Structure 1
Amino acid sequence: MSRASRRKLQIFIRRAYEDPTPEDGYRVLVDRVWPRGRSKAVLALDQWAFDLAPSTALRKWFGHDPKRWEAFEQRYRSELASGEQQDRMRRLLSDSGGRSISLIYGAKDENHNQAVVLRDVLSCLSEE
């Protein structure tokens, strides 16, 4: 299939504390830790991709400090560049079956979190 005839994959980011919607498509939790106070049933996940989340060391170093955002983004992209992570991301894209994907995260900051970075990386990977 040519690139021109392919539909661009939609990848959304959603907070774990927002209720799921029918438009979410394939819902994937992308945190290493389970969102406090949220049950499996409420989250309505298709997958928990904890291995795609930032390493524990990187997550703790970042601490959701916006001043560290640029360095965090660069370090997280480095983690995602490994062959193992590339394989995991390709598997996630395949598992979605062409449906839109919603990356679910627990952080309060909607602009400075791992789902923002992962969405961008997955978008590029899906266009290859």
Structure 2
Amino acid sequence: MLKHPLTMKRVYEKVEKEDGYRILVDRLWPRGVAKEKADIKEWAKEIAPTPTIRQAFNHQPQKFNAFKQAYWAELEANPHAEKFKQHIFEQLQYTPVTFIYAAKDEQYNHVVILMEYVQTK
């Protein structure tokens, strides 16, 4: 059982103590955000979707299901994914973990998929 919550938050939102361990899960550093101000503890570029599927999705809600399937397949094949999951569960024993991302759409983005993937056994 997890002792702390796993959440997600846009990098442009205010940093809060409740965020706990903040992990940027985007491949690129967000525009206009100073590294010091973002309070990022870790940058997990290797877990983000590849440019190919991200560009094909282009943040269009009607393409989200196809994007989800493609990103899930990438996660399944990603040699870093299992270690990343394990790392998240270890962190959650001590502190809340917040996945930080830059996408504008809070419903149709890769972090929604990543949250589901990480919480799937």
TM-score, normalised to structure 1's length?
A: 0.85
Whole-angstrom CA distance in 2 between matches of 1:64 and 1:82: 23
Report deviation, 1:60.
1.0
**More displaced, 84-93 or 54-63?**
84-93
Count, aligned residues: 119
**Alpha carbons of 1:19 and 1:121: their partners in 2 closer, same or farther (altered >3 Å)?**
same
The residue identity in structure 2 corresponding to 1:103 is F
Whole-angstrom CA distance in 1 between matches of 2:16 and 2:119: 21
On the 8 A contact 1:27/1:101 being kept in 2, the answer is: yes
Partner residue in 2 for 1:100:
96
Structure 2 unmatched ranges of 5 or more: none
Equivalent residue for 2:7, pick from 12, 16, 30: 12
Residues 45-70 of structure 1: per-residue CA shift (max 9 Å, x gap) = 11000100001111111111111001
Equivalent residue for 1:63, pick from 58, 65, 76: 58
Whole-angstrom CA distance in 1 between matches of 2:29 and 2:59: 16
Q: Does 1:33 find its partner at 2:28?
A: yes
Report deviation, 1:87.
2.4
Whole-angstrom CA distance in 2 between matches of 1:83 and 1:53: 10
Report deviation, 1:9.
4.5
Residues 72-126 of structure 1: per-residue CA shift (max 9 Å, x gap) = 01111111112612223323433x262221000101000011111111111224x
**Alpha carbons of 1:9 and 1:80: their partners in 2 closer, same or farther (altered >3 Å)?**
farther
Matched ranges for 1:43-62 at <5 A: 43-62=38-57
Report deviation, 1:19.
1.1
The residue identity in structure 2 corresponding to 1:123 is Q
Q: Does 1:109 find its partner at 2:105?
A: yes
Whole-angstrom CA distance in 1 between matches of 2:39 and 2:78: 29
Partner SS, residue 120 of structure 2: helix
Report deviation, 1:10.
1.5
